């Protein structure tokens, strides 16, 4: 588990499934993902997420706001799958439920995850990617001290040509240039 000033990043519990499914079924939350994740797709994603954590010793945590909400979303680090651009690298990821947006929670939780990656896992670099139109996530990346080189922008291999989500940006944070992550 990881604790921040306001949040608890913890292993997934069985009772997280329902609020996670509800969150990823919300078209507003999933706008920049190209569609919702429901039913069997949501269950399969959660199973893969738990398996990643067990296999790798790190992964995507369920995020709790103690005393307020037992589940507000998920944040963590994931190894980029083989089919994706930047395969094998470690990516910071976050998705929070809509009531918890614009409160600094994504940045706070991602900062803790990245710090854990640098300290406990010995990572030298963490990346983050998102659709070029996803300015809120890019704002989180910038707040984390990540940098972007437009020459690294790319087309997502599983998003159709012509989609407003196809063009993606890459942000990088090297351990040697990371701001204080405590």
Mean pLDDT of the residues in the chain:
92
pLDDT of residue 88: 86
The CB density around residue 122, as the number of other CB atoms within 10 Å, is: 8
Between strands 125-131 and 167-174, the pairing is antiparallel
Q: Which stretches of 12-134 are DSSP H helices?
A: 17-24, 39-56, 105-119
Percent of the chain with pLDDT over 70: 98
30-59: average pLDDT: 90
Label residue 182 by pLDDT band (50, 70, 90).
very low
Beta bridge mates, 148: 171
Is the model's pTM score more than 0.85? yes
Question: What domains are defined for the chain?
Answer: 2-177 (3.40.630.30)
First-to-last alpha carbon distance for the chain, in angstroms, is 15
83-96: average pLDDT: 87
Tell me the C-alpha distance between 79 and 142, whole Å: 21
């Amino acid at each position: 588990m990881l604790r921040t000033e306001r949040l608890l990043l913890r292993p997934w519990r069985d009772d997280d499934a329902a609020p996670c499914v509800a969150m990823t079924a919300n078209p507003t939350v999933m706008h920049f993902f190209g569609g919702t994740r429901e039913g069997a797709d949501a269950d399969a994603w959660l199973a893969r997420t738990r398996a990643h954590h067990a296999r790798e010793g790190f992964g995507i945590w369920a995020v709790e706001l103690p005393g307020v909400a037992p589940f507000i979303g998920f944040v963590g680090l994931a190894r980029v799958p083989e089919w994706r651009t930047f395969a094998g690298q470690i990516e910071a990821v976050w998705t929070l439920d809509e009531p918890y947006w614009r409160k600094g929670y994504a940045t706070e939780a991602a900062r803790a995850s990245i710090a854990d990656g640098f300290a406990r896992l010995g990572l030298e670099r963490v990346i983050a990617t998102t659709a070029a139109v996803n300015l809120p996530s890019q704002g989180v990346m910038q707040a984390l001290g990540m940098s972007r080189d437009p020459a690294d922008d790319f087309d997502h291999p599983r998003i159709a040509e012509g989609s407003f989500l196809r063009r993606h940006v890459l942000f990088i944070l090297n351990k040697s240039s990371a701001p204080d992550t405590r």
